[in-house]
Amino acid sequence: MIRKFRILDLDAILRIEKKAFPKSPYSRFTFLYYASAYRDNFLVYVQEDMRKGLNKIGGYIIFYPEGHIVSIAVHPAYRRRGIGAELVGEVLKRTKGNASVEVRESNEIAKEFYTHLGFSMQSIIQKYYGDEDALLMIRRGSV
């Protein structure tokens, strides 16, 4: 299930964030900023845990209303099950299939992921991450 972020999700999101981006995780403050400034654009994937009867956060996505993806991460234990694609799919539903994202040049998995979802490389943004270039990837058109 995908729903809007709730404050009680924050600790789980921070744990996912540290695993997904160990060198430069977003802080608690950054997530709180997006939760307040972009309430409708911060979504979480809730994974039902049948054994424990609990709902666990499988991943999240933050995006700007026009479809620019700010950040996405899926818990390592839940990867390769289509959760990331579903989260991006929620963005594409709202933007008629138009979206964009910056990707670290070395992030081969993210490049594969976005290519699979119909994004293509638009340009290189030199030293976007300070130590590394970004690829600007865009997607246009129908979902």
Ligand X SMILES: CC(C)(COP(=O)(O)OP(=O)(O)OC[C@H]1O[C@@H](n2cnc3c(N)ncnc32)[C@H](O)[C@@H]1OP(=O)(O)O)[C@@H](O)C(=O)NCCC(=O)NCCS
- Comparing CB distances to ligand X, the nearer of 35 and 84 is 84
DSSP string for 12-71: HHHHHHHHH-TTSPPPHHHHHHHHHHSGGGEEEEEEEETTTTEEEEEEEEEE-TTSEEEE
Continuous segment of H or E residues that includes residue 125: strand 120-125
Smallest gap from Cβ 131 to ligand X, in A, equals 16
Smallest gap from Cβ 96 to ligand X, in A, equals 21
Smallest gap from Cβ 40 to ligand X, in A, equals 20
- Comparing CB distances to ligand X, the nearer of 53 and 118 is 118
- Comparing CB distances to ligand X, the nearer of 53 and 78 is 78
